[in-house]
A and B are shown apart, each in its own frame.
Chain A
Amino acid sequence: MKHEPDDFSRQHPALDRALRDQVKAPKMDGAFRQQVFARIAAQRAELARVAASPGAALARLRTQFVLQVLNLGAIALVAGLLLRAAWPTLEPFAASMSLEMSFVGSIPHSGLALSMTAAAAALAYGLHRARLLGWVRGLGL
């Protein structure tokens, strides 16, 4: 017991004593620990049941997949728009990297094309990083 008398306990000893004696939480015991592990065992059983049900697992994977794709798509779109906005600045660099002007000129919106290429690359990289390509194969998509 670390309790050291302070002003309050000196001025109101009876109240202080009553607070110390009567404020009691439940006690942690073996039964508590057993109940926690029983809850965990129930969760494990539920997880095993879900894992054994291919339909449920597939539905869960599909949802996660769609969310991840939407997420990455949004990022790719923003990246594309940024590239497009920055194209006037980037164009000289693209030219100096011996990008065929005839090729660039053949596309009406070369900035947009480059942006979309970069966005597609970003998306593929994102899918690869998120290991979604494996999911795609696994889901038969």
Chain B
Amino acid sequence: MTRDKDLLALLERRDYDAVLEALMLRYGQKALNLAYSMVRDHSLAEDLAQVSFVKMWQALPRYDGRAQLSSLLYTVTRNTCLSELRKRGRTVSLDALTDADNDDDAAPLSLADDVDHAGRADDSYDVQKLLDGLPENYRQVVSLFYLEDCSVEEVAQMLDVPLNTVKSLLHRGRKRLAAVVQPLEKAS
């Protein structure tokens, strides 16, 4: 709240365009990161992030100051992306994360047969391909973790899930990725 305290004066003056401009400067990249971690498509992420900001602009006159503006933006962005994913027949449910508490040693990635394609090329990995093999919830947390400079706290705030849930998902997601690339690392 402290960070956005200066925006309250703009809100009182009903200068919603200025508030939105400031929000875009402060949280625009984060909204894009969040959208991208969910839809994994650059142009779609841009489109949905823009829609989210328009929705924020519409919601600003009703803003009562109780929630942080950034939290509100993340919620709007998440819901916009979820709605789009539902339209496209894809679902992301962070609620399902807690149900996966006991599957730490679950079956390996489904892309095991594609290891050669996901594996090293010029001493690197095809991360896109590797991430494609992860369950959606793991993939989202792992992607957002790296997009957000490896800040677990930031990821938890953006996804509005407990810190321990993010840590657990991140651990399992990366463990699965490591299991896939381990044969390649040994071979090299």
- Kindly list chain B residues whose C-beta atoms are within 8 Å of the C-beta of A131: none
Q: Which stretch in B6-14, B28-36, B68-76, B80-88 binds the other chain?
A: B28-36
- Say how far A84's CB is from chain B's closest CB, in angstroms: 38
Whether B36 and A18, one on each chain, are in contact in the complex, defined by CB atoms closer than 8 angstroms, is: no
| Chain B contacts for A4, CB-based, 8 A | 150
A25 CA to B58 CA in the complex, in Å? 25
B37 contact set on A, CB distance < 8 A:
25
The interface bits of chain A over 1-44 (1 if a CB of B lies within 8 angstroms of the residue's CB, else 0) are 11110001001101101111111111110001101110110010
In this complex, what residue of B is CB-closest to A18? B125
Query: Is there contact, CB below 8 Å, between B128 and A28?
Result: no
* Number of B residues with CB within 8 Å of any CB on chain A: 43
Known: A12-B185, A26-B32, A39-B54. 16 other contacts (CB 8 A): A2-B150, A3-B149, A8-B174, A12-B181, A19-B146, A20-B146, A23-B146, A25-B35, A25-B45, A26-B43, A26-B45, A27-B32, A28-B31, A33-B21, A36-B57, A39-B50
12 A-B residue pairings within 8 Å (CB atoms):
A14-B120, A19-B177, A23-B146, A25-B29, A26-B36, A26-B42, A26-B43, A28-B28, A32-B24, A32-B46, A40-B17, A43-B58
Taking Cβ atoms with an 8 Å cutoff, the residues of B that contact A are: 17, 20-21, 24, 28-29, 31-33, 35-37, 42-43, 45-46, 49-51, 53-54, 57-58, 120, 123-125, 127-128, 131, 142-143, 146-147, 149-151, 171, 174, 177-178, 181, 185
Q: Which residues of A contact B (CB under 8 A)?
A: 1-4, 8, 11-12, 14-15, 17-28, 32-33, 35-37, 39-40, 43
